[in-house]
């Protein structure tokens, strides 16, 4: 597989406890399976630091993003200084995973909006791309992004319509798709996918979550991206190796890292 595929998983969480039993064996197996690079995204200060530590063990495979996820506990005062310090590490190529999530009851909308804006401003200060999370918050997400546009980064696990995709693209962002593309109810993401030019597409797992068909219900990892890539290739009218190469080059360019 490594002779024909070049895969860049643009969104992963290999610090997650789900990988504790076999993380080292799994990551070491990736090159022979065509997985060249993985972006490890941070969700808290602690998780972001853990991502950096993991990348130090696998510098040829992993790059990282540091950030506070909207579902994480509210960060302590001074968290931006901590993120700024971590962002100086050579493995850090983005600020993320940041954004808005109104899915579960009890969310603090005002706090989410404040922290999101603060991290977007930090990304612009540091000239780093952003990795965006959006769930049940498309209207507010677009409104905030317009405040900071133009932007470099990716809206991961794209949640919107083809029309929303065009608005996101106009702001300068890339769009990432997970195994959702393989699900039976994937009509809306497939419509969005068809509207996005090849040079703005990324492919991702969001592992250990979002395993594609036929692995649904299992722990996801980057070797499963071929299932998502096959659907993307079919919809865009290119071969599987070609879509893997294109999305890998897009990610490498966005995150300013070699393949």
Residue 167 CA to residue 162 CA, distance in Å, equals 9
Q: How confident is the model at residue 2 (pLDDT cuts 50, 70, 90)?
A: very low
For residue 181, what are the contacts with CB-CB under 8 A and spacing of at least 6?
Answer: 189, 190, 193, 212, 228, 231, 232, 235
Average pLDDT over residues 228-255: 98
Residue 2 lies in a domain: no
Q: How confident is the model at residue 187 (pLDDT cuts 50, 70, 90)?
A: very high
Domain that holds residue 87: 7-254
167: domain CATH number?
3.20.20.140
Average pLDDT over residues 202-221: 97
Among 2-16, 62-76, 95-109, 208-222, which stretch is predicted with the lowest mean pLDDT?
A: 2-16
Which residue is listed with tokens 């080292």?
Answer: 24
Provide, rounded to the nearest whole percent, the portion of the chain with pLDDT above 70.
Answer: 99
Residue 201 lies in a domain: yes
Which residues are paired to 154 by β-bridges?
131, 174
Residue 128 lies in a domain: yes
Q: Are 36 and 62 in contact (CB under 8 A)?
A: no
For residue 166, what are the contacts with CB-CB under 8 A and spacing of at least 6?
Answer: 195
Indicate whether 3 pLDDT > 80: no
Predicted local confidence at residue 168, as pLDDT: 97
Predicted local confidence at residue 154, as pLDDT: 98
Residue 186 lies in a domain: yes
Q: Is the pTM of this model over 0.95?
A: yes
Residue 28 lies in a domain: yes
Residue 92 lies in a domain: yes
For residue 105, what are the contacts with CB-CB under 8 A and spacing of at least 6?
Answer: none
Predicted local confidence at residue 159, as pLDDT: 84
Residue 26 lies in a domain: yes
Omega before residue 150 within 30° of 0, cis: yes
Residue 259 lies in a domain: no
Q: Provide the number of structural domains found in the chain.
A: 1
For the chain, what is the mean pLDDT? 97
């Amino acid at each position: 597989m490594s002779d024909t595929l070049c895969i860049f998983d643009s969104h992963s969480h290999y610090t997650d406890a789900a990988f504790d039993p076999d993380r080292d064996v799994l990551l070491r197996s990736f090159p022979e399976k065509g997985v060249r690079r993985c972006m490890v995204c941070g969700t808290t200060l602690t998780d972001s630091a853990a991502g950096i530590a993991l990348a130090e063990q696998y510098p040829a495979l992993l790059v990282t993003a540091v950030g506070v996820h909207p579902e994480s506990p509210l960060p302590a005062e001074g968290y931006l200084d901590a993120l700024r310090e971590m962002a100086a590490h050579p493995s850090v190529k983005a600020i993320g995973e940041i954004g808005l999530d109104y899915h579960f009851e009890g969310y603090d909308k005002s706090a989410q909006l404040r922290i999101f804006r603060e991290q977007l401003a930090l990304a612009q200060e540091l000239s780093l791309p952003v990795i965006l999370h959006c769930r049940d918050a498309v209207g507010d997400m677009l409104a905030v992004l317009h405040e900071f546009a133009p932007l470099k980064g990716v809206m991961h696990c794209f949640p919107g319509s083809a029309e929303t995709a065009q608005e996101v693209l106009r702001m300068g962002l890339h769009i990432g798709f997970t195994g959702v593309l393989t699900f039976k109810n994937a009509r809306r993401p497939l419509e969005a996918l068809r509207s996005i030019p090849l040079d703005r597409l990324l492919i991702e797992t969001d592992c250990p979550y979002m395993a594609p068909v036929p692995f649904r219900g299992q722990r996801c990892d980057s070797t499963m991206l071929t299932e998502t890539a096959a659907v993307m290739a079919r919809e865009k009218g290119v071969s599987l190796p070609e879509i893997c190469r294109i999305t890998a080059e897009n990610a490498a360019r966005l995150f300013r890292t070699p393949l």
